[in-house]
């Protein structure tokens, strides 16, 4: 057995070729070149500046941002309100002429007009009923036994606007204390001196009164009046000017009147023509039309938005 020798192992394989690769080239890049002061300044100036730290938002800035965000929503939410308002204004503009015409129609009756202060003559049956304007004058009309005649002093434009005597007394009540006699007739006479508005001096006139005249069978209404209400005063045209001395002066004097010239009571003391409250109803109807047009415009705007 051969003796064991110690030393480096002997490689029996092919001999390793010597490395023939290029020797590593030393780095010559810009990184290896020391930077001058000018280069460092240029590099520092070209580098982006750091972004400034955001300033903390104040309460006012936050409120402005919230307002800016809410403006579009507010505009979108109330855009239909603007359209509805425009439609409503258009409807009102169209309805204004109608309302103006209605207002003029309502105001027309209240304007001053020419009227006359005079005694009007009325007739009524003894069994009651309503007064009717006499078609004849007191000197021509001849009432029968048991009839009623009435006289009312008022400010009126004409016979259609004349005011009836007040009171509902019938013949039996007026002539209950006057017995009938032969060759005579009894006529109930109602005398209404009017109101302070009717009076020429705006003073309170005498109170209305009733009388029972017992006159001859052929007596006229004027004679029956003269039997219970002297003195009477007539003008040259036989127009009755005063009863029991009222009024003291004047006879059918012309004056300005209006709807409220004489406060005519309701019922039997009202005017001969029972006019209603038409003008007021017309004005209310015009205002209601404006409201309905505005409501229709708003409904149409909501319908389009929906």
Asked if the structure places residue 219 within a domain, the reply is yes
**Alpha-carbon gap, residue 208 to 170, rounded angstroms:** 15
**Is 38 part of a structural domain of the chain?**
no
Comparing CA positions, the residue from 150, 116, 128 lying closest to residue 252 is 116
In a domain, 47, yes or no: no
Tally of CA atoms within 13 A in the half-sphere of 233 that contains its CB = 14
Strands 184-192 and 148-156: parallel
Two tokens at 22?
């290029």
Query: What pLDDT, on the 0 to 100 scale, is given for residue 208?
Result: 96
Look at residue 201 in the predicted model and tell me its pLDDT: 87
Among 67-71, 97-101, 223-227, name the one with the lowest average pLDDT: 67-71
Pair 179, 172: CB distance under 8 Å: no
The average pLDDT across 181-185 equals: 94
The helix (H) or strand (E) run that includes residue 29 is none
* pLDDT in the model for residue 110: 44
Q: Is residue 223 part of a domain?
A: yes
Confidence (pLDDT) at 167: 86
Per-residue pLDDT, 142:
96
Largest Cα–Cα separation, the chain: 204
Above 70 in pLDDT, residue 231? Answer: yes
Of all residues in the chain, what percent carry a pLDDT higher than 90? 36
Q: Is residue 249 part of a domain?
A: yes
Which of 39-53, 158-172, 195-209, 263-277 has maximum average pLDDT?
195-209
Measured from the Cβ of residue 93, the count of other Cβ atoms closer than 10 Å reads 10
226 has pLDDT over 80: yes
State the total domains in the chain: 1
Q: What is the mean pLDDT of the chain?
A: 72
Q: Tokens 């005649």 correspond to what residue?
A: 149
- Which residue in 146, 229, 242 sits closest to 188, CA to CA? 146
How many C-beta atoms lie closer than 10 Å to residue 224's C-beta? 27
pLDDT at position 199 over 60: yes
Looking at residue 184, its pLDDT comes to 96
Q: Is residue 53 part of a domain?
A: no
Amino acid 273: pLDDT? 44
Residue 75, in any domain of the structure: no
Tell me the Ramachandran region of residue 189: left when phi exceeds 0, alpha when psi lies from -120 to 50, beta otherwise.
beta
Across the range 234-239, mean pLDDT stands at 92
Provide the pLDDT for residue 266. Answer: 36
For residue 288, the tally of other CB atoms under 10 A from its CB is 10
Domain ranges, residue 169: 112-275
Q: Tell me the whole-structure pTM to 2 decimals.
A: 0.52
């Amino acid at each position: 057995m051969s003796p064991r020798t110690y030393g480096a192992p002997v490689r029996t394989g092919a001999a390793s070729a010597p490395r023939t690769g290029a020797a590593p080239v030393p780095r010559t890049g810009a990184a290896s070149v020391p930077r001058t002061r000018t280069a460092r300044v240029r590099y520092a100036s070209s580098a982006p500046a750091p972004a400034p730290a955001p300033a903390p938002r104040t309460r006012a800035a936050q409120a402005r941002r919230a307002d800016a965000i809410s403006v579009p929503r507010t505009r979108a939410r109330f855009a239909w309100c603007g359209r509805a308002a425009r439609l409503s204004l258009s409807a009102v503009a169209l309805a204004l002429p109608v309302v103006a015409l209605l207002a003029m129609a309502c105001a027309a009756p209240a304007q001053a007009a020419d009227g006359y202060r005079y005694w009007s003559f009325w007739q009524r049956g003894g069994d009651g009923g309503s007064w009717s304007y006499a078609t004849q004058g007191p000197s021509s009309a001849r009432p029968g036994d048991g009839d009623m005649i009435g006289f009312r002093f008022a400010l009126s434009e004409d016979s259609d606007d004349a005011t009836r005597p007040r009171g509902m007394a019938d013949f039996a009540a007026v002539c209950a204390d006057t017995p009938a006699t032969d060759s005579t007739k009894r006529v109930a006479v109602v005398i209404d001196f009017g109101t302070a508005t009717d009076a020429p001096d705006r003073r309170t006139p005498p109170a209305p009164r009733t009388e029972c005249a017992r006159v001859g069978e052929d007596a006229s209404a004027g004679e029956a009046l003269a039997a219970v209400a002297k003195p009477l005063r007539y003008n040259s045209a036989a127009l009755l000017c005063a009863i029991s001395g009222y009024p003291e002066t004047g006879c059918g004097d012309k004056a300005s009147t209006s709807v409220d010239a004489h406060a005519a009571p309701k019922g039997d003391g009202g005017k001969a023509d029972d006019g209603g409250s038409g003008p007021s109803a017309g004005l209310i109807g015009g205002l209601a039309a404006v409201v309905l047009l505005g409501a229709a415009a708003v409904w149409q705007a909501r319908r389009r938005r929906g």
